[in-house]
Structure 1
Amino acid sequence: MTEHLTISNTPPEHPGMNFALLRQEGIKHIERLAGKLWTDYNTHDPGITILEQLCYAITDLSYRLDFEMKDLLASSPGENRKQFYTAREILTINPLTINDYRKLLIDIDGVKNAWLEPIQNSQPPIYHNLSRHTLTFQEDVNNQRVNLNGLYRVKIDKEKDIFDDASLIEKVKTKLQQHRNLCEDFAKVEILPIEEITINAEIEVEEGFDGNELMAKFYWGIDNFISPQLQFFTLKELLEQGKTPEEIFDGVPLEHGFIDDEQINSFIKKKELYTSDLIRIILDIEGIKTVKTLRISSSRLSQSEEWVLSLDPDSTPQLKDIGRLINEKNIIFYKGQIPGNINETKVKSHLQLLQQKNTKLPSTRQTEDIPIPVGQYRELSDYESIQNDFPVTYGIGEIGLPLSASPQRKAQ
């Protein structure tokens, strides 16, 4: 069956498109302003003709303005001209704060965490000669030491699978030099040495739970607490959290997603490890019944601690490798009074699945940016003056006045 296209006789919802309503309102204004002098409101009256042309112009403008903004700003077909910048291009900035630099460095493959510390006493020492008002490297009673601002020491916590420290340091230096600000520099970049943490624990598990999977969850939870893995968010996740594009793109543009400011502020280097924190993490694992004993030790110290372990501020704590923890019987799971058997291969398989959920994956341009909406080109520049819609007898259109018109008529 053929569908017939019809024009609805229902008045438009937008008053600016309702010709009859505009004409009616216009006549009301005429009656209010000049009702004593102007009484003929029929269609033959020139004033009404002008009013109708004005109403038509308003409906035309209202129709055009009712298009979506993306249509109003759309380029003509074949026009290769960039009119707007995307959110990632216009809202992001070069690193400015220490947190900005930390985000920039954590975004590098192989960097797990990073810290920037302002250098208080720069080397070599620089002195200000008070009498000559000059700078010198010579120490003297008349010279006052000057501390340079803008110098930083960079400390890197690398990922476990990174073995080429020199290459990673070079990547960090290159990234910093590409983004450093004027009057700022990075005096030293160092990868923190590992302070290996060993946990000795006896844990009772509930019946019906796989000890290998529990061991993987135990290792994942403790390892992520001792040396946390910062989470990258996608654009979709942050928008669903209610964050605005201005908040999301405020900062340095990253390749692996977005880092929340609140998260990086809490992503600080630990000074101490408390066994109470570790026990809480262990007991939060479904299937763990109780922690019988737990002690923690460090490769830096000879004895283990029952309550709290102080950490080296110039090292990065890292939990002992899962294979060594299993083979050296540091962690023993009990079901009742019977110690369970832990299979290293199965534990590593479960652990790999947990790690994959929090791995930094390169984002596509579509997920890390908000694309510019593409509208339909409406040919808005194709416009004709309402002068051409007046009756020909008015003589103001394209045809104009006839050649026989008198000078007086032309002057009108």
Structure 2
Amino acid sequence: MIFLDFIFYAFIAVVIIQAIFYIFFFTRFTFLKQEKKSRKNMDVSVIICAKNEAENLQNFLPSVIKQDYPNFEIVLINDASNDKTLEVMEQFANQHENIKIVNVKNTEAFWGNKKYALTLGIKASKNEFLLFTDADCKPVSKYWIRNMSSHFTKGKQLVLGYSGYSKIKNSLLNKLIRFETLVTAMQYFSFAKLGIPYMGVGRNLAYTKTTFFKNNGFINHIKLRSGDDDLFVNQVANQKNTAICFSKNGFTESVPKTTFKAWFKQKRRHVSTAKHYKLKHKILLTLIYSSQLLFWAFAITLFITMHHWLIVLALFLFRIIIQYVIFGKPSKKLKENDLLVLLPFLEVFLIIMQLTIFITNLISKPNYWK
């Protein structure tokens, strides 16, 4: 009974911690309205780094080319591909004068390093304002550049955007992938509004060339094979220089993994970079995840043993209701509201997966840029 009492009081503490995060952190994004920005029409360089992406470029590059924006170039970086990526790039470049190709060959010092390729692409770009996406991404509207670039002001040199994944009917894996993306976006948008931005996603991210070179680019983590997006944001973003864009016309959409093995491998790479975040970010993120894990572990234990079950049930429902309220508006903002029905199930599944990924990464190192 003493052990169960300890679990019971620990459960109460965990529910309080969870409530604090939901009410005081995540509400920053939940009830936030996207500011309408004036039309700026600044010159923009869209940068796409591709390695063995011939098919994806054929499918998705036209949606970037057709953007309704007057002054933009597209910098295509061929990162030592061994398929027809370079040929596809050249075909598009022959048809469109605003496309520039940077052909990167492997070097001994930077073998397979995406950051090296990106750096060469950034140097080759002619404009101050840089907008990044991936070869397997497409803007959801022809106003993507307009929406993302509108958030650049004299004080804001870094813009965090949202990139979701296309939906696949009757796929539990697809829902899990999109739920994890939704949770991550809620976190980095909320933290940015709190003045402690910690990450962004390279599928939809913008910053100035001055910011890149003023902070020595990727030099502080150049030896790490991942983190060209989140680690760079973690390094340079602060309360004053960071803006967020979550207007629907500013989204990009990516092709999701269709096998559990492929998604697990991808997430292993992403999770491995988190240990290089700033200490305050690591503490907060660890506290969020730990409280989620302990909430479900303690709740299940107390329900099975029926220890103070009425109080436990009340606290359990209190936390679940808060979660639904906080997730409601963001899921609609980010066009993921179909996930709400499975919210508790997806959360438990994701918690288990994150724990598995963490343990697996301790045992072996993940693979990186293909």
After TM superposition, is the score higher than 0.5? no
Q: Which has the higher strand share?
A: 1
TM-score normalised by length of structure 1:
0.21
TM-score normalised by length of structure 2:
0.23
Larger Rg: 1
Q: Which has the higher helix share?
A: 2
